[in-house]
């Protein structure tokens, strides 16, 4: 008996595509997320015609990082004065002020980096979308309807805002706990890294889903169902970011890896008749 064709663009259509051999035999987990990160970097290196597009988010992130870092360094002394309004005298206070100035510089630089990459994604939305479409086409996924420039930027910004809404309050609370009770940093720092990794993974994995017009609630549900794989993707992305120069291409390579992971997860869910 012939199996009826699935509607174009549906997860079942992905599973029935000519390249359905990519459907995993078991539910993709943490390891699949790590593999997707490496696959994204590898695909970018093997596809030189995507390099001009990859320079768009990379260039924007670099420019924004420099501008915000310079502004942050100038504001760092004010941050120290806000924390310690009346510094005391003596060697102990001098050492404390030095430590606070170093910490304030670290905070503003990390904040500048995070904000720069958060803004670079929506600003370079059209370039990233073209990269996602190319990667999905090579994986046998159906083509999705084109959207306008501003609609594309809004979808990318929407994704970043959702990530900030969920993770920023948690990061602030953890930061306050670590600042007020230093020994708690043993637990706080790993938690901060985990939350940051999850936020980055969501922001990138959301791009292939938003291209298809999937509502935000459905995208959140998709990530929740596949939490282990998404967390593995975010962890791999965070680890690779520590390698020299890899941070420069984390956005384009991460987007390509996210596209591969999302298609793999969709094909798995299609075989299990999971709800979308």
* Region 175-191 average pLDDT: 70
* Region 119-146 average pLDDT: 82
Per the structure block, which two tokens stand in for 18? 């000519």
137 within some domain: yes
**pTM listed for this prediction:** 0.72
198 within some domain: yes
Q: What is the mean pLDDT of the chain?
A: 76
Judging by beta carbons within 10 Å of its beta carbon (0-12, 13-18, 19+), is residue 249 exposed, middle or buried? Answer: buried
Q: Is the pLDDT of residue 17 over 60?
A: no
For the chain, the domain total comes to 1
Better pLDDT: 50 or 198: 50
Containing structural domain, residue 93 = 24-271
259 within some domain: yes
Q: Is the pLDDT of residue 229 over 70?
A: yes
* Region 159-187 average pLDDT: 72
257 within some domain: yes
212 within some domain: yes
pLDDT category, 156, cuts 50, 70, 90? Answer: low
């Amino acid at each position: 008996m012939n199996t009826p064709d699935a509607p174009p663009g549906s997860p079942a259509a992905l599973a029935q595509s000519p390249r359905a051999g990519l459907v995993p035999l078991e539910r993709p987990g943490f390891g699949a997320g790590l593999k997707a990160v490496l696959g994204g970097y590898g695909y970018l290196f093997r596809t030189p015609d995507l390099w001009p597009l990859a320079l768009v988010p990379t260039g924007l992130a670099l420019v924004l990082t420099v501008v915000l870092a310079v502004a942050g360094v100038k504001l760092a002394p004010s941050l120290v004065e806000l924390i310690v309004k009346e510094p005391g005298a003596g060697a102990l206070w001098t050492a404390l002020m030095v430590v606070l100035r170093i910490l304030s510089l670290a905070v503003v630089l990390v904040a500048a980096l995070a904000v720069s990459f958060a803004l670079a994604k929506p600003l370079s939305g059209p370039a990233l979308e073209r990269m996602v479409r190319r990667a999905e086409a090579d994986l046998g996924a159906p083509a999705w309807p084109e959207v306008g420039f501003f609609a594309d930027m809004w979808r990318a910004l929407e994704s970043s805002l959702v990530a900030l809404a969920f993770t920023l309050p948690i990061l602030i609370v953890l930061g306050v706990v670590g600042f007020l009770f230093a020994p708690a940093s043993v637990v706080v720092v790993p938690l901060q890294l985990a939350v940051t990794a999850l936020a980055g993974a969501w922001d990138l994995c959301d791009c292939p889903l938003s291209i298809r017009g999937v509502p935000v609630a459905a995208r959140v549900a998709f990530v929740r169902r596949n939490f282990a794989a998404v967390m593995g993707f975010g962890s791999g992305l965070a680890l690779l970011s520590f390698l020299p120069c890899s941070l420069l291409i984390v956005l384009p390579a991460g987007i390509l890896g996210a596209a591969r992971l999302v298609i793999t997860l969709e094909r798995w869910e299609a075989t299990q008749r999971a709800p979308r």
